Every structure is written in structure tokens, then in C-alpha cells.
A and B are shown apart, each in its own frame.
Chain A
Amino acid sequence: MVRRRFVALIALSAALFAADLSEAAETGPRVQETVLQNGLKVLVVEEPKAPVITVQIWYKVGSRNEIMGRAGLSHMLEHMMFKGTKKYAKGEFSKIIKKNGGNDNAFTSQDYTAYFENLAADKLELALEMESDRLQGLLLDDNEFQLEREVVKEERRLRTEDNPQAYLVEQMFAQAFMEHPYHWPIIGWFNDLNAMTREDLKQHYERYYVPNNATLVIVGDVKNEAVVSLAKQYFERLPKGAPPTSPEIIDPVQRGERRVIVKRAAQLPFLYFGYKVPNFMSTDVHALAVLENVLSSGKSSRLYDTLVYRKKIALAVGASYSELSANPELYTFYAIVKPGAKIEEVEQSLLAEIERIKKEGPTDKEIQKAKNQVEAKHMFEQDSIFRQAMLLGTAETVGAGWQYIADYVKRLREVTKEDVKRVARRYFQEDTRTVGILIPVPPTAEATPVAGGTP
């Protein structure tokens, strides 16, 4: 009785708060867009709360733009972007940013390659000058490439080869996508890394690193006019390139569940599976996002409650979906099996939760919670200028457009219980599922000391 009342109170206050939050949540980042004559798009958000900025340049090129036999080319090129231009020698880029009190780095995904500098607001010009310099002036020295290839191979060893779970994820994607380039890993296979040449890199660079294939995103303590004026000064001299074409590869329809098993020395069984789902192009994506929240966001989510709290068979469990991909991707689930539990039982429990939401849909309270979480998260994300710029850059680069972020909360608020049930039924189909399972086998060498002591 007391408990019921309490729940009702929460629901009531949620309704009240939803009203007063909506205005603030919808304000969101105030984006100003300018397109330069050479096609470079400039997005600015004036955010004066601290005298710092993030400068990010996003190129529409990632592992999806590679061809078979050259997996990892975009990521390798990202590494080479730090290896010198005619103006700035190898390593100078980062050194100059650092001595100006900034941090810089880069990241590559299936769909994009992005470079960033986080620094004091009065260093804007420096960052723009240097980014414009390497947009078209890269040396691509062959000796440097030979060295950097070894560094990337170390990166692959670190991230994938010696990490059983990451290894399984890679294997699962290679099964889920047969013809589409999402088949291969962003970092590339060893064989492809070894086969790569400077000429491959040069072609990739010349084709994709053109102003009309890039978006400059700047968030922080700046004025739009100042940014646009400097962007023109440094970038407009760069000629527009031939518009790079995107691969139009559609993976054939999957006709039946696929399973991939990895047996290797590991401590805990690990389950990772995915369903084929649409990207931002579909009107179903907001319902899919709510579905993701209901299933896996936080300790009050269905998966955590069932597998960790009640059945106690998983150490961790979750689901992940992002519609911000250039081509349709996967809605994935994972679970780390608790010692003593059976992986079969974990898989069955996860699938049972999926079947349950397909049959019953979510409750009113779950829907409201999901919406509250998304709205709060939207606000929290604006606390970080880097995070704001990342979201805008991602949305713009995959083709959704930055307005997608601004409209997100509004769209999400329109999702109904029936929508969530419908998309669960539509996309969580056994026949389009790919299941990866890591089965630990005894190690060839135990993690115990074999030697040591003091000479």
C-alpha cells in the first residue's frame, strides 16, 4: 500500500518535471553552420563557460571505405597524419599543440576518421593553421610508414590479439557481415597490414582528404564570426576535390542464425551477439533507443535485474545500439558469465528477456524512465565541450546531419509502448542473429611465476 503510493508519487512528479524540463532539454547546443566555397562544412557552438575550446576535423572515411585485402588502411593513415608535412616535421604537430597547453589525438571508426585538439580558446588559429596544413600537405615518408606499421601491429596485439573478448567481437562481426566492409576490423588484419604500401596510403589520402569530404567542429569559448573568418583564411585556399563516392554495398539478406565459437585460453566464458537493425534512416530508431534503455540502462534495467541480481549467473550484461552509423549495423548484446554458471543458461536467460519484451512490451513506468534518462543524459553531455563536438561530428559524418542531435529528445519523447514492442518484434529475429561465444580452454602456460628472484 505504502509502496504503491510512492510509485504513484514518482510518476506524478515525473510528469510535472517533464513539462519544465522540455524547454531546457530542447534548447540543446546552439549550432551555427557555414559551408566554405570548397565544400568544407564548419559547425560552431559558442560555449563560454571556460576559456577552452575543442577543435575537431572529421573526415568521411573509415574502414567501410576500404577494399578487401587492405583492411586497416584508414587507421594506418590516421597514424601517418602525425608523421610530418613539408611545413611541420614528424612529431611536430603534437609537440606544438602540447607546448601550447593543449592535448591532441585522433580516432578512426568504421565510418569516420577524426582529429582533435583541446586547448585554450586563444589557440584556435594555431589549431586551424596546422589542421589545414595536413589536410593536403602530408609527406607519407616510406621509412616512417615502415616504422609506424610496426607500431600499429603492436596496437593490434594490445587491443585484440591478447584480449580474448575483443578477439571474439572481431570474429562475430566477420560472421555477421559477409560482403559489407563492416566485415573487417578497423585496425585491420595482420596480413593486410603487412601487404599495405605507401602507394595505398597515398591514394586513400588523396581521395578522401579533401575539404568537401570533411567537417570542422568547434565548441567552446569562441565567436562564430571569428571561427568562420579564420577557417576561410586557412582552409579556403585548399581546392575542392572530386567528391568521394561511398561504397554502395548491401549485405545479402541473412537467412538463418549464424554462430561463431572461439576456443582459447581465457578465464570466463563470454557471450556476444547481434541482430541486423537499421540506422538513422529509419523511423524506428527512436523506439530502438528506448528499447535499449529498458533492456540495459543501469541496475534497474531488465537484463541486469534478471541476470545479475536475481539469477546471479552473469558478472556483467548489456545491450548496445547506435543508429549513428553510415550503413545499417548491429544491435548487440553481451554477457560475462559468472564463475560456476553455464554459458547456455546465460544465453537462454538473455533470449528469454528478449522474447518477453517482444510479447509484453515495456511498462508505462519503464517508458517514462527511459525518456527521463535520455533527457538527463542529453543535458549531462553538454557539460563536456568535447562530448558535444563528438556527437555533432558523428551525426554529420555518418550522414544523419547535426540537426539529428538537436531533434533527438523531441523525437524520443514521441515513442510509445506499442512502438517499442513493434520494433522488438520486427528486428529481434532469430534468423538475422549472429551469436559469438568465447569458450575458455586450459591455458598452455599458467599465469604463474616461472623464474625470478634477484641475481
Chain B
Amino acid sequence: MTRIAAAVVIVLVLAQASFAADIKPVRIVTPNNMIVLIVDQPSLPIVTVNVLVKAGAVHDPDALAGLAYMTAGMLDEGTKTRSAAQIAQQIEFIGGELATQGAQDFSTVTLRVLKKDVDLGLTILSDILMNPIFAEKDVARVRGELMGQLQGEKDEPGVIAIKAFDEIVFQGNPYRRAANGTEKTVPKITRNDLVQFHHTYYRPNRTIVAIVGDIREHEALDVVRKHFGKWTKKDGVPSTFSPAVPLQQPKLKLIDKDLTQANVILGHLGIDRKNPDFYAVSVMNYILGGGGFSSRLVNRIRDQKGLAYDVDSGFQANVMPGPFTVQLQTRNAAANQAIASVVEEMKRIRTEPVSDQELADAKAYLIGSFPLRLDTTGKLAALLTLVELHGLGLSYFEDYPKAIRAVTKEDVLRVAEQYLHPDVYALVVVAKQSEAKINPEMVLGKP
């Protein structure tokens, strides 16, 4: 029985590895130092373009938190030659999709069009990246929308919790600030700030473009040259930041809100994407709480006790070390019990080796499901830009399965010890505190 299972796993791994390995992106550096990645997939007459610009919220001044987010949000709100309404009208008339988003490490613009509309799509895409105008009246409107969004977030306990968590865990590091800013900083962002931010950070040498779909390599290069050729590069932008100061002792933050559930986030600093332990950490986290119904946390907190609909753990491996978090929601009165169970599971995976079966299952999932992460043009384009951002190399699609396969039980134990801190963590609980009655003795696992 076990033998058969092992044979099946090997066959699967080979089949999957060959598909992923078949993805051979072409990588080109343009004369103005923009990186272009192309994957020709002619099966449907569509083209997806994913643009990543190293213009994220990490570059926000403290007093202007939200600047990068608002800059990205305003790219499609008017250029030197097109009003906001014209941009929307032109792209939507052809059924195209254009979206912008600001995040911590970078901002993105994504475009999806039918093959016949690639040139028009790139015309608009390059225009909003290179020539946004940030008209005063639009700045005022978008600022108002952003203030409304920030106010609306106070109805979302999960958002309240993660924002409080980041402030505690990322002391001294830009990740402590929410990408979309605060009600104090957003009103201070002026047109001039947006113009300056764009001028400094939106440059071809800070940009990665992935083009995936029904397009030949030379066609892709032609449109890139035509539309981005005149974009001028700018060097010398500082991009190092002070690292977060790790917590010295556990920290508890309780936020009172009239809710039926306690929204819990527990965690601490994690790893960056370049960390060679990324793969071992992925396997370890899958077993702990990343693997859905196959994970220890779901098994214990949901399946055995019925305490939560959802509980999961994760390492967000960013350019700098991101957070490790365990998140769950449970009825107020069960919060203490659920949190104590989380801490116990963190301790257990640090002290006892995982079983052979757990290790094999985790690796089989991570390797076997890899193609599912590449099976649409949108998923592949997004992943390509990240592979480039983190310098993982064009052989990533072959390397990933190999790296996962190489992880051992000893690796899992070692990285659990090294990267999980069940004694020193931040714990944020947004709940009706009179019902949750959080007991610090119980939830701040004693050393």
C-alpha cells in the first residue's frame, strides 16, 4: 500500500516537473533598462500584461503614508492627453481590463485584452505609467475616496487586526505602515507629492513587464519598444531600509468592538523571499497551518473542536522579512482556548519531528499543485514578475519542485526552531472584550 503510494507520487512529480519546466520565458533588458519577460501561449486569442514597478509603500515618508498607494490608484485618473473618463472609455470600449494597485514592495498595473487590441492596450498602459497628470480636482476626489475606504475598514475586524499587528511587529521598518495610509496622513498628500513620487520611482529601470498569451516574441518586443522606448531611466534612488527590531517580549493588544467573534492574529517577523530556507519553511508551514484540511491547526481547532470556520498560518516572504501570522476567528467566549491551542501547535512542531507521512504529503502537495499556480495567463504573468523581482532566475519553474523535494525532516525541525517563536510574539484580538475575557496568562505562552 505504502509502496504503491510512493510510486504514484514519483510519477506525478515527473509529469508536473516537465510541464513547469516547459515554461521557458524569454527575458530581455531594453536599452532603457526595463526588464521584459515573454511567454508565448497561443491557445486563446488573448494577451495579459503584468507590470511591476518598484514604487511601493516602503518608499512613503512616515508623514505621508499612503502616497505610493494613492499614486498607483491615480495612474488611470488622467494623463497629459487623456482624461480619466477617456481612459476608462477607451479601454472598456474594447472590453479590455486595466487595473492598478499599490502594495508594500511595489505597485502593479495589469492589462488584459484580446489579441487584436494589444497595440491599443499598450498605448493606454504606457500612457498611464509614463504620463499621469494628477490633476488637482481628481486628487481631491481620490483623496476623499481613500478617506472613505479607510473609514469603511473600521467595519472590517480582520483589517483592524492586521493593521495593529503590523505596527507592533515591524517597529523601525517601513512595513509597519499600512500601504493605504491613515486618516492622519492621507489628507496631507498633495498633488506635488504625487508628482514627485511618480517622477522619482516610476522609471523603466525600476520596472518589470511580463507579457503572456497569444503573442510572438518579436511582436511583444515591437510593442514594448514602440510604447516604452522613450521612457527615461533614472538611477540613484535609495532602496535600503532599516530592518524591523524583533520583539523582546510578547505583546498583547486588545481592541474592543461589538462583534460576535474574536478576530485573532498571532505572529512575529518571518523571512524574506531570498532566504534559502524558504522551501523548508514552506513545507513546515504547510504542516502547521498552511495546508487547509491537511494542516495541524485546522485539524485541531476546526475539525476536533469546532471552534472556527477558518484558521491558517503563513509566512509572507517579501523583499524584506515579512510577517509570520496565524489568523482565526472564533466566538468571543472561545478565544482563550483557541489561542492556547495555536501556541501549543507552534511549540510542538519545534520540538518533535514531523512524521514521514506528513512530510511526504506536504511535499507531494507543494510540488503537485505547482502547475495549478500557472494555469492561466494572469497567474503566470503575476508569478513571472515576482520571480524577476526576487532574482529567482528563469529556471525557477524547474528549480521549485527540486528545492521542495530536497527538504528533509531535519530541515523542517530546524526551520521551525529558527523561525517560529512561541514565546515572543505579538497577539492582537479584536473582539467584544467583555465576552472574550482574554487571559494574558493563558494566551501569552509562558517561556
How far is B403's CA from A250's CA once the two chains are assembled, in angstroms?
59
The interface bits of chain A over 14-32 (1 if a CB of B lies within 8 angstroms of the residue's CB, else 0) are: 1001001100100000000
Which residues of A have CB within 8 Å of B148?
Answer: 268, 315, 336, 338-339
How far is B41's CA from A300's CA once the two chains are assembled, in angstroms?
31
Q: Which of A118, A151, A297, A383 contacts B46 (CB 8 A)?
A: A383
| Given A20-B116, A376-B96, A99:B293 Cβ within 8 A | no
Interface residues of A in 374-403 (CB under 8 A from B): 374-377, 379-380, 382-385
Which residues of B have CB within 8 Å of A101?
Answer: 12, 16, 364-365, 367-370, 372
Shortest distance in angstroms between B356's beta carbon and chain A's nearest beta carbon?
13
Which residues of A have CB within 8 Å of B365?
Answer: 98-99, 101
- Segment from B124-132, B152-160, B193-201 that makes contact with A: B152-160
The interface bits of chain A over 415-455 (1 if a CB of B lies within 8 angstroms of the residue's CB, else 0) are: 00000000000000000000000000001111111111111
- Segment from A66-74, A87-95, A345-353 that makes contact with B: A87-95
Tell me if A175 is interfacial: C-beta within 8 Å of chain B: no
Which residues of B have CB within 8 Å of A368?
Answer: 93
Interface residues of B in 297-338 (CB under 8 A from A): 299, 302-310, 329-331
| Given A101-B369, A374-B95, A315:B112 Cβ within 8 A | no
Nearest CB to that of A50 among chain B residues? B375
Interface residues of A in 108-129 (CB under 8 A from B): 118-120, 122-123
Which residues of A have CB within 8 Å of B302?
Answer: 151
Shortest distance in angstroms between A303's beta carbon and chain B's nearest beta carbon?
13
Q: Which of A17, A267, A448, A450 contacts B152 (CB 8 A)?
A: A267
Q: Is the CB of B92 within 8 A of A297?
A: yes
Q: Which of B114, B258, B364, B369 contacts A445 (CB 8 A)?
A: B258
Q: How large is the interface on A (under 10, 10 to 19, 20 to 34, 35 or more residues)?
A: 35 or more
Nearest CB to that of B137 among chain A residues? A312
The interface bits of chain A over 77-110 (1 if a CB of B lies within 8 angstroms of the residue's CB, else 0) are: 0000010000000110011001111110000000
Tell me if A64 is interfacial: C-beta within 8 Å of chain B: no
Tell me if B70 is interfacial: C-beta within 8 Å of chain A: no
Q: Is the CB of A380 within 8 A of B46?
A: yes
Shortest distance in angstroms between B214's beta carbon and chain A's nearest beta carbon?
10
How far is B75's CA from A257's CA once the two chains are assembled, in angstroms?
42
Interface centre among A297, A385, A445 (most CB of B within 10 A): A445
Interface centre among B9, B76, B249, B294 (most CB of A within 10 A): B294
Nearest CB to that of A49 among chain B residues? B43
- Segment from B81-89, B235-243, B384-392 that makes contact with A: B81-89
Which residues of B have CB within 8 Å of A51?
Answer: 15-16, 19, 371
Shortest distance in angstroms between B429's beta carbon and chain A's nearest beta carbon?
10
| Given A305-B85, A449-B254, A452-B252, A383:B95 Cβ within 8 A | no
Nearest CB to that of A147 among chain B residues? B306
The interface bits of chain B over 330-369 (1 if a CB of A lies within 8 angstroms of the residue's CB, else 0) are: 1100000000000000000000000000001100110111
Q: Which of B97, B256, B310 contacts A450 (CB 8 A)?
A: B256
Contacts A/B (CB < 8 Å), 13 sampled: A14-B93, A49-B43, A98-B365, A101-B364, A147-B303, A147-B306, A163-B155, A265-B258, A376-B95, A376-B96, A377-B95, A445-B258, A453-B251
Given contacts A120-B15, A300-B88, A305-B85, 11 further A-B contacts (CB under 8 A): A20-B116, A94-B293, A98-B369, A119-B368, A147-B306, A151-B302, A157-B260, A158-B309, A161-B261, A299-B88, A383-B378
